[in-house]
Amino acid sequence: MLKKDAIKYFGKVSEIAKILKIRHQSVSGWGEIVPLRHQHTLEILSNYNLKTSLSIKQQNTNAKNTILSKNASNKGDTPFLQA
């Protein structure tokens, strides 16, 4: 869920902060993507007009793990990720 979509739906950052019972500064500091721990609440309170989604970073990590798993199963190797 993108922060800009949540702001568009709820009107302003202070309204999102009030709904989530967190500080305005916390919402302002989110960056582009709403943290997963708040996405589900906003999804429900928007009557499912907003949708919970993985962040771009998590989507990339999941895709990387899938590719590594497929490659490992083809070669008989054990997949691993470097930190």
In this structure, are residues 24 and 17 in contact, taking their beta carbons and an 8 Å threshold? yes
pTM exceeds 0.75 for this model? no
Torsion sign, CA atoms 79, 1, 48, 28: positive
Using DSSP's 3-state secondary structure scheme, residue 2 falls into strand
User: How many structural domains are present in the chain?
Assistant: 2
CATH number at residue 16: 1.10.260.40
Residues 48 and 15 in one domain: yes
Residues 13 and 35 in one domain: yes
- Rounded CA separation 33/11 (Å): 17
With b for 16 or more beta-carbon neighbours within 10 A and e for fewer, the 17-47 pattern comes to: bebbeeeeeebeeeeebbeeebbeebbebbe
pLDDT tens digits, 14-59 = 999 999 999 999 999 999 999 999 999 999 999 999 999 875 555 5
Q: Domain containing 65: what range?
A: 54-83
Residues 36 and 70 in one domain: no
Residues 35 and 68 in one domain: no
